Chain A
């Protein structure tokens, strides 16, 4: 794509945005008119059952729903915002068919911990050092198949599927629930309710993951690839240990790769797996951009299991 073509596309986008604004106004006016008519027609009213379901959907996505759970806290950030940047080149367990250009790019899952919630986002640096929020936009898109090789006794698969945001598996045993879902953070991000939750970093299949625990709820968030895909495990009524075991035994296989450039196509055709030196190793880099006053870095390093930073202020340590 030449610069001229890019500029023309931007021009067209701007022009159509302007023209469509007027279309939206007209469409909206008609919709408002219809809405007023429907509101005055009792027979057109939303049934109470559906209204309750919609409100439930709203509450489900709201932190209020779970604020009652704010109980014991073993690790509540004293900070306003603490930012931890996880840089993962590739992991041992998830080997992807990717082009060299993608393989050498760095990906960042950025986790911002606020007092009442935690925000995940994703960026990727390409070879030229440019940062893109949606690294999948000009590279191949990878889809995965998830297989849970272990779930606690008595759990049965009750739901599975996929939508525009990702795919999921749901297991249930009475009121106990385990949900395994995969979604991309590229361009979207993810906010989770971490208020009052225990937070800890754990190693799952050799990769760093975040474990959140609140009463009998547990969740594990783990980055997966350079495109911002991640796996989330939710457990309700199960122990953190059980959920970790589910995560350890989760099999994730790339099943479909769509290329948008010819160089990547050849790579995929040669086989689903492409091993490089980088793919045989796991690198996690932590950067703490904020620490409470008085804390100093006293130790850092990495070993076969990961990397660490230790900060100390007197007898207090992080």
Chain B
């Protein structure tokens, strides 16, 4: 809930940017929300919630190239949809399983990421790995590296401790590295 006096958009430029964002990406936001919930009312709530979240990061998203901005918007709406479903206690009915619940069941890898992910110029191979990662791992890595959320923010959203977030991230990165290795790549 916003305070009466609270400003998220403290310049005209930021307000214009957000208004244009509604015009340009409104349909995409709604379509993304509808993938996760069935009712129009729920989808509209998610879009509005996403708007608030985007406004809170307006400084960041204003500096993004168009391609990155659209990815940021889609990921923000998707995360808002997950939060909505969780909050409404109907997530189990709509999603196969909470993708984040399975993380702790997997044993940590013994090898370190440093041993396998050495070179940073293997992006094409990493994109292939990306599609094979679990929904949970993708969501965590998106939050951390695409939305650039802090561990504290992620912990707050997921309702867990920051240490737990760090562990989950480490495991997600190790699984990505393992998939990379299984694909016959050597980093």
Give the interface of A toward B (CB within 8 A). 8, 11-13, 15-29, 31-32, 34-35, 38-39, 41, 44-47, 50-51, 53-55, 57-64, 66, 117, 134, 136-137, 159, 161, 164-165, 168, 170, 179, 181, 186-188, 190-194, 197, 212, 214, 217, 219, 232, 234-236, 258, 260
Cβ 8 A contact of B145, one of A20, A159, A168, A236: A20
- Among B27, B114, B144, B151: residue with most chain A CB under 10 A: B27
Q: List, in ascending order, chain A residues with CB within 8 A of B162's CB.
A: 137, 260
Closest 4 CB pairs of A and B: A61-B8, A28-B67, A46-B26, A28-B71
Known: A8-B114, A61-B9, A187-B152. A35 touches B27 (CB 8 A): yes
B67 contacts A54, C-beta separation under 8 Å? no
Q: How close is B181's CB to chain A, nearest CB, in angstroms?
A: 15
Closest to B74 in A: A31
B47 contacts A50, C-beta separation under 8 Å? yes
With A24-B72, A46-B26 already in contact, 16 other A-B pairs whose C-beta atoms are closer than 8 Å = A16-B145, A17-B145, A19-B122, A24-B146, A28-B66, A28-B69, A31-B70, A50-B26, A50-B47, A51-B23, A58-B15, A58-B18, A136-B152, A137-B162, A164-B156, A170-B1
Q: List, in ascending order, chain A residues with CB within 8 A of B1's CB.
A: 159, 161, 168, 170, 179, 181
Cβ 8 A contact of B127, one of A22, A41, A64, A190: A22
Q: List, in ascending order, chain B residues with CB within 8 A of A63's CB.
A: 7, 9-10
Cβ 8 A contact of B9, one of A17, A23, A58, A170: A58
A15 contacts B31, C-beta separation under 8 Å? no
Judge if B111 is at the interface, Cβ distance under 8 Å.
no
- Among A23, A117, A161: residue with most chain B CB under 10 A: A23
Q: List, in ascending order, chain A residues with CB within 8 A of B27's CB.
A: 35, 38-39, 41, 44-46
A50 contacts B10, C-beta separation under 8 Å? no
Known: A8-B114, A46-B30. A179 touches B3 (CB 8 A): yes
Cβ 8 A contact of A191, one of B7, B15, B127, B157: B7
Q: List, in ascending order, chain A residues with CB within 8 A of B153's CB.
A: 164
A-B contact pairs, 17 of them (CB 8 A): A8-B112, A8-B113, A13-B144, A26-B127, A31-B28, A31-B70, A31-B74, A46-B27, A53-B48, A58-B9, A58-B15, A60-B2, A134-B150, A192-B5, A194-B5, A219-B4, A219-B5
Q: How close is B166's CB to chain A, nearest CB, in angstroms?
A: 8
Judge if B22 is at the interface, Cβ distance under 8 Å.
yes
Name B141-171 residues within 8 Å CB distance of A. Answer: 141-142, 144-146, 150-153, 156-157, 161-163
B5 contacts A61, C-beta separation under 8 Å? no
Judge if B182 is at the interface, Cβ distance under 8 Å.
no
Q: How close is A34's CB to chain B, nearest CB, in angstroms?
A: 6
Closest to A26 in B: B127
Tell me the complex Cα distance, A110–B126, Å. Answer: 43
